[in-house]
């Protein structure tokens, strides 16, 4: 693939938000001499988003920065994201939500981080929350701001693999890596029974990268502003957002356990301890799902089958050791 960055914006009815987002992308300062493109995936919008984007981008007269519009008619960010990545021509991609305003040096810093170390699977930064001029943030917002992808993701710049995930907003990663990660293993967050669990697709991707041996990196120099509209600052919206996280975690927890129980991360003594303690916990635990998953790793020939864990174990067997980068 070409050396450079593809910026992917997935949007649904984002016409009223995209103006400042595009302006900040037009004003990127690139000192490293790489090319970049912008792919906007219109995810079944009904507000003339595509027409607005074309007119808006023409204002900036950036003839050397291609802006590609793509339609994805199946609702859901995961579908839009994968459509965008499948059309990316550059080695790296940056996820930019339609309400993210990247600092002028964002792409330059992100590119250099990825170039510096092939073991970094993805990198992310910090976000500053802003809203409309006369809107103040509610008293509860600071407590829940991480759920809005706002604030810092670590105390200092460096390896954050142990955190388990990076926010999708502003994330930079490797295009070929994303394609490989999902080529034979569709997202486990998307099932016929629960098609709405799509808001944590970034976390699932990060967890898969960790299982493949890649590292996650945080840089405080990567800064963006996150515009949060007033309707997203209500108790009702916040509760709905966190309920979605809760449901998603029921699936994501199986990835976290896979990382914890992977043989290269688990000492012999800990394996013995778990082998003794887990059956007892299974007898008395109110929530037996976690203990059953551990049993599935420790005693695969005797534990009851778990379709999700079986898929993750298959993923590890095909990707886990082959791409070890730590």
Give the contacts of 235 (CB within 8 A, at least 6 positions apart): 138, 140
User: Rounded CA gap, 34 and 52, in Å?
Assistant: 28
User: Rounded CA gap, 145 and 164, in Å?
Assistant: 18
Give yes or no for a contact between 259 and 162, defined as CB atoms under 8 angstroms apart.
no
173 DSSP β-pair partners: 93, 122
β-bridge pairing 2-11 and 90-95: parallel
> pLDDT tens string for the chain (326 positions)?
899 999 999 999 999 999 999 999 999 999 888 999 999 999 999 999 999 999 999 999 888 899 999 999 988 889 999 999 999 999 999 999 999 999 999 999 999 999 999 999 999 999 999 999 888 999 999 999 999 999 999 999 999 999 999 999 999 999 999 999 999 999 998 765 555 555 689 999 999 999 999 999 999 999 999 999 999 999 999 999 999 898 888 889 889 888 887 655 555 555 555 555 655 555 566 666 666 666 666 666 666 667 888 889 889 888 865 444 44
Q: Which CATH class is domain 2-249?
A: alpha beta
What's the pTM? 0.88
CA 126 to chain centre: 14
- CB burial of 41-73 (b: ≥16 within 10 Å; e: otherwise) equals bbbeeeeebbebbeebbeeeebeebebeebebe
* Ranges of each domain in the chain: 2-249, 258-319
The values of phi and psi at residue 196, to 5°, are: -85, -10
Which residues in the chain belong to E strands, given as ranges?
Answer: 2-11, 35-42, 67-71, 90-95, 100-102, 120-130, 158-159, 172-174, 215-227
CA distances from 125 to 58, 93, 166, 219 (A): 29, 15, 9, 5
């Amino acid at each position: 693939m070409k050396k450079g960055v593809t910026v992917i914006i997935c949007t649904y009815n984002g016409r009223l938000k995209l103006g400042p987002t595009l302006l900040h992308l037009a004003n990127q300062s690139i000192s490293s001499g790489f090319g970049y493109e912008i792919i906007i995936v219109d995810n079944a919008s009904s507000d003339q988003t595509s027409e607005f984007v074309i007119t808006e981008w023409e204002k900036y007269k950036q003839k050397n920065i291609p802006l590609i519009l793509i339609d994805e008619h199946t609702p859901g960010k995961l579908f839009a994201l994968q459509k965008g990545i499948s059309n990316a021509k550059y080695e790296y991609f940056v996820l930019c939500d339609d309400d993210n305003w990247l600092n002028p040096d964002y792409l330059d810093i992100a590119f250099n981080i990825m170039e510096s170390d092939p073991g970094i699977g993805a990198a992310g930064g910090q976000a500053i929350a802003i809203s409309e001029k006369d809107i103040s943030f509610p008293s509860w917002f600071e407590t829940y701001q991480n759920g809005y992808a706002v604030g810092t993701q670590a105390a200092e710049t460096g390896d954050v693999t142990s955190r388990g995930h990076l926010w999708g907003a502003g994330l930079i990663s490797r295009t070929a890596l994303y394609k490989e990660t999902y080529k034979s293993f569709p997202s486990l967050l998307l099932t016929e029974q629960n098609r709405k669990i799509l808001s944590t697709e970034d976390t699932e991707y990060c967890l898969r990268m960790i299982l493949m041996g890649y590292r996650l990196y945080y840089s405080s120099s990567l800064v963006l502003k996150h515009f949060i509209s007033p309707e997203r600052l209500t108790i009702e919206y916040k509760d709905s957002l966190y309920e979605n996280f809760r449901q998603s975690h029921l699936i994501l927890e199986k990835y976290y356990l896979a990382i914890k129980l992977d043989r290269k991360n688990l000492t012999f003594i800990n394996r013995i301890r778990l082998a003794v303690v887990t059956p007892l916990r299974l007898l008395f635990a109110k929530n037996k799902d976690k203990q059953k998953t551990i049993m599935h790793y420790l005693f695969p020939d005797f534990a009851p089958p778990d379709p999700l864990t079986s898929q993750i174990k298959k993923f590890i067997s095909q990707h886990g050791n082959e791409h070890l980068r730590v």
